[in-house]
Amino acid sequence: MKTSLFVSRPSFLHSLDPRTKMVCVGMSFAGLLLFDDPLFLLGPAAGLILLSFAGRVFKKFLAGSLVLGSFGMLTFLVWPLFLTMRGQGGPAAWIYGAGVGLRLIEILLVAFMLMLTTSNEQLLAGLARLGLPFPMVFSLGLTSRLLPSLLATAGHVVEAQRLRGLRFDEGGLIRRARRYIPLLVPILACSLRTVHQMSWALEAKGFGVDSRKRVPFIVLRMKVRDWVVLTVSIAMLAGAVWARMQGIGIIGVMHGE
């Protein structure tokens, strides 16, 4: 079973240092949070589409966009209702909801793009080189591998129950959902057994006892392209901050205008 969203392709995005990509993702988050005008946010959306072509992951990116778009649609519906309760309803409230929803989708897609073009090993190596403590990096690495294992265990339990005659596709929605509740017991038991065995393995190998400096398996080196991308990203963030200070890309319904 595949353990990550990573798509192995030779592309410019794949060749960048993971530290470069993570820093750029952080700056992208900061830049997107500055604006809420949907028309202004169409530019970053177009940029993400171009990046998906540059990374040769457009099909995966499109599939993820359809899934993550549901979060933006929910935000689009909730914000106008909230503003109406505050006495700030009207067309501006719906425009603001569209902007906030689009911003949320873009933030999620930026992180999704990072996962598509960076392997788990590269992400963990980048986090370690950025100064994150090794135990925390190790925990994140285990989590990224245990989640697919948990999903696989759930699939095996469901198939075993189907072979015993349990039908999950019959009856109404509530009735079908109730059939899944008893499955939580074997899934939880298998998960606890896996975690217990892993703790034994870590203890047997003396994890956390040896204080000597660790030698990284993946050696990261910044290249000219990484510094160029970082320079461009910093310049774009500075431009976004300037535009925000000038009141560009802002809907007045939440800013007393």
Q: What is the mean pLDDT of residues 123-130?
A: 84
Q: Which of 26-35, 144-153, 190-199 has the lowest mean pLDDT?
A: 144-153
Give pLDDT tens digits for 167-204: 766 666 677 667 667 777 777 787 788 777 877 877 77
On the question of pLDDT at 24 being above 80, the answer is yes
Q: Are residues 228 and 164 in the same domain?
A: no
Q: Are residues 196 and 227 in the same domain?
A: no
CA distances from 123 to 22, 128, 162, 214, 252 (A): 8, 9, 38, 17, 39
Q: What is the mean pLDDT of residues 41-58?
A: 90
On the question of pLDDT at 160 being above 70, the answer is yes
Q: Which residue has the higher pLDDT, 1 or 69?
A: 69
Give pLDDT tens digits for 76-87: 778 777 777 777
Nearby residues of 152 by Cβ (< 8 Å), 6 or more positions away:
1
Distance of CA 164 to the CA centre of its chain: 37
Which domain range does residue 235 map to? 17-118+223-254
Domain count, the chain: 2
Say if 106 falls within a structural domain.
yes
Say if 126 falls within a structural domain.
no
Q: Which of 4-18, 59-73, 101-115, 169-183 has the lowest mean pLDDT?
A: 169-183
Supply the DSSP symbol for 252: G
Say if 8 falls within a structural domain.
no
Q: Are residues 23 and 113 in the same domain?
A: yes
Q: What is the DSSP string of 41-105?
A: HHHHHHHHHHHHHHTT-HHHHHHHHHHHHHHHHHHHHHHHHHHHHTT--SHHHHHHHHHHHHHHH
Q: Which residue has the higher pLDDT, 150 or 18?
A: 18
φ/ψ region of 170 (left if φ > 0, alpha if ψ in -120 to 50, else beta) reads beta
pLDDT on residue 232: 94
Q: Which of 58-62, 203-207, 244-248 has the lowest mean pLDDT?
A: 203-207
Q: Round to whole Å and give the CA distance between 203 and 147.
A: 22
Give pLDDT tens digits for 133-148: 877 777 777 776 676 6
Residue 101: name the closest of 82, 119, 65, 75 by CA.
75
Q: Are residues 35 and 154 in the same domain?
A: no
Q: What is the mean pLDDT of residues 15-43?
A: 90
pLDDT on residue 230: 94
Q: Round to whole Å and give the CA distance between 167 and 179.
A: 8
pLDDT on residue 247: 84
Q: Are residues 25 and 111 in the same domain?
A: yes
Neighbouring C-beta atoms of residue 83, cutoff 10 Å = 19
Q: What percent of the chain has pLDDT over 90?
A: 18
Q: What pLDDT band is residue 3 in, cutting at 50, 70 and 90? A: low
Q: Which of 125-129, 146-150, 230-234, 240-244 has the lowest mean pLDDT?
A: 146-150
